[in-house]
Amino acid sequence: MASFSEIPEGCIAEILSLTTPADACRAAVIAWRFKSAADSDGVWERFLPSDHSEIVARSVSPVVHATKKQLYFGLCDSPILIDGGKMSFALTKHNGRKCFMLQARELSIAWKDTPYYWKWRSLPESRSLSLSLSLPTPTCGTSCHDLYISLKKIVHTSPDHPHPSSHRPFSVVINDQYLRMCRFSEVAELVSVFWLDIGGKIGTKLLSPKTTYGAYLVFKLGEQPYGLDYPAKAVVRFARDREYEAEVGLGELGEDGISTVYLTSPGISRVRRRRGIYDMAMREPEANARLVQNRKDGWKEIELGEFFNDEGDDDYVKMRLMEIKDQHRKGGLIVEGIEVRPKVEVIS
């Protein structure tokens, strides 16, 4: 009987490629015989989506990686911009499923090109150049970290170089606050509208098959938001569902698949007691309504809905948020985009 040490590395790699990224990382640290196989490109090629090369080729800037493992964790930790910056692409770390975010410019926003209602602006912090470095970690081998280059001023000099030289026209700034900013070059800021209508769509063939996805509006609030504490309606449906195309509003779709969401906590409203007399009362959220969640990147998100992507044969998924019922003014909403990411493990 052959000893454990005689098992070919290729066999070990084949076995590990049938597990998970976490299993491969653990194998690399618990047994020295596994490390070479666990770090091999053959193993991590299997963990990456089959079309990852085509997607990475659409990146607006080069994606530098020495190994497939570095590429995997780089895409998990630092989304890349693709298609001219119209969309971002990333992977889920635990299973390598695909995540996309549509930039606000790519969304269907009512009156988005009318400055009286919406304005487009770049966040100052989004103008930095980004670098992605892979640094060693005790467990998974590498971890991706973002660095940002500021072209504005020198913020640090070493004892050997107390002053910037002609060979160093700018300095490198490592600042955690930059990790919490916008990934796109511009965002949409709501000035004032009565009718809030934001939608988007994404092709299902882009997404990972056999996966349940959630769609999330990613946003921030301005310094003085108003009118956003009323319930809005959200829906996520396949393009084949013709009812989605109703132009007169979500009310024509019935209640099936429509969710109530709040962009801010419900506020105070006037409650009529009798003719001409009102009391002020705090509005309670509707039952089963979805509330805003804080993201690790410093933005907020609200789930619009979910869907199961079987084999990617459903053409498009459309997402929509509307608040038109109460017909009151709203403002102070800053939209980054709509993110589509896996919610649960892949169904085998």
The pLDDT of residue 192: 95
Give a yes or no: residue 189 inside a domain.
yes
| C-beta separation of 344 from 95 below 8 A | no
Residue 308 CB partners (closer than 8 Å, separation 6+): 211, 212, 213
Instruction: Determine the Cα–Cα distance for residues 133 and 131; give it in Å rounded to an integer.
Output: 7
State the DSSP code for 142. Answer: E
User: Which pTM was predicted?
Assistant: 0.77
Element (H, E) at 227: none
Instruction: Determine the Cα–Cα distance for residues 18 and 247; give it in Å rounded to an integer.
Output: 47
Give a yes or no: residue 277 inside a domain.
yes
State the DSSP code for 344. Answer: S
Give a yes or no: residue 279 inside a domain.
yes
Instruction: Determine the Cα–Cα distance for residues 301 and 337; give it in Å rounded to an integer.
Output: 10
Give a yes or no: residue 19 inside a domain.
no
Give a yes or no: residue 342 inside a domain.
yes
Q: For residue 319, list its beta bridge partners.
A: 200, 236
The residue written with tokens 């070493």 in the block is 158
- Structurally, the chain folds into a number of domains equal to 1
Give a yes or no: residue 23 inside a domain.
no
The pLDDT of residue 210: 93
Give a yes or no: residue 107 inside a domain.
yes
Q: For residue 142, list its beta bridge partners.
A: 136
What are residue 247's phi and psi, to 5 degrees?
-85, -10
| C-beta separation of 198 from 217 below 8 A | yes
Instruction: Determine the Cα–Cα distance for residues 340 and 243; give it in Å rounded to an integer.
Output: 22
The pLDDT of residue 179: 39
CATH number at residue 218: 2.60.120.260
Q: Tens-digit pLDDT profile for the chain (348 aa)?
A: 455 566 776 687 777 777 788 888 787 787 777 787 888 888 899 999 999 999 999 999 999 999 999 999 999 999 999 999 999 999 999 999 999 999 999 999 999 999 999 999 987 544 444 444 445 554 454 444 444 443 333 334 344 444 444 444 433 444 343 334 557 999 999 999 999 999 999 999 999 999 999 999 999 999 999 999 889 999 999 987 655 444 434 444 445 678 999 998 776 554 444 555 444 556 666 778 888 999 998 999 999 999 999 987 768 999 999 998 877 899 999 999 999 999 966 444
Q: Give the 3-state secondary structure percentages of the chain, helix then strand then coil, rounded to 5.
A: 20, 35, 40
Give a yes or no: residue 95 inside a domain.
yes
The pLDDT of residue 242: 56
Exposure class string for 157-193: b at 16+ Cβ within 10 A, else e: eeeeeeeeeeeeeebebeeeebeebbbbebbbbbbeb
Query: Residue 303 belongs to what domain range?
Result: 84-123+182-348
Q: Kindly compute the dihedral angle of the four CA atoms of residues 98, 319, 347, 68, in this order, to the nearest 10 degrees.
A: 0
Residue 162 CB partners (closer than 8 Å, separation 6+): none
Q: What single-letter amino acid sits at 161?
A: H
